[in-house]
Amino acid sequence: SDVNAFYQTDAEADEVIIACYDMVRSIENGMSTGLQFVKTHLSDDIWSGGGNHYDGTFYMMSDYTFSDDYGAIETIYTNLYKLVYRANIVLEKVTGDTPAMKRAVAEAKVFRAYAYFQLTTLWGTPPIVDHPLTEDEYMQSNSTTEELWAFVEKDLNEAISSGALTQK
C-alpha cells in the first residue's frame, strides 16, 4: 500500500499519534535508560553505588565520566529524535480537518516540544528537525539555545491556541 495514502482517516490519525505516545513511554520508562532515571543520576540527588560506589556502570553518570557511547545516554538521545520524527510525520501527513485529525496535529506539536525541551536541557544546542529528513539532510548543524526555546514555545503556543487539545 502507498504510505502517502495512509493518513486520510480519523482512525489512521489516531494510529500515528499513538506511535508518539508509545515513544514517550519508552523515553520515560526504560529501566536503566528512562529519562528520569538518567536525569536523576546526573543530578546531586543520587550517589550511585551498591556495595561500593563503583559497582556496575551507573557511577559513570554520577561522576560524569561516561563517554559518548554510554548506552543509556545514547538511547535517550536516539529515542527523543525518534519522537521528533514521529511527530513530524503526523505534522506532515495528517492534513485533514476533522476534530480527531486536528487533535493529532496539536498533540504532535506538544510531543515535539517535549522532545526538544528534553534535548535542550540535556544537550544544550541539538539540531532542530522540523520535518522528516531526506537522505541528503541527515547531517544537521546544531541550533542555538535561543532558536531551540523559540521553537519549543512556538509549538506549544500553536498547540494550545488550536483549541484541539483534549480538555481535562
Which alpha helices (H) appear in the chain, and where do they start and end? 10-29, 35-42, 59-63, 71-93, 99-123, 145-161
| Residues in CB range of 53: below 8 A, 6 or more apart | 47, 59, 62
pLDDT of 115 reads 98
95 vs 6 pLDDT, higher one: 95
Distance of CA 83 to the CA centre of its chain: 4
pLDDT of 1 reads 53
Cell 528537525 belongs to: 129
What is the total residue count of the chain? 168
Q: Under a CB-based contact definition with an 8 Å cutoff, are residues 106 and 164 in contact? A: yes
Model pLDDT for residues 57-89, shown as the tens digit of each residue: 888 888 888 888 888 888 999 999 999 999 999
Which alpha helices (H) appear in 124-165, and where do they start and end? 145-161
Q: What average pLDDT does the chain have? A: 90
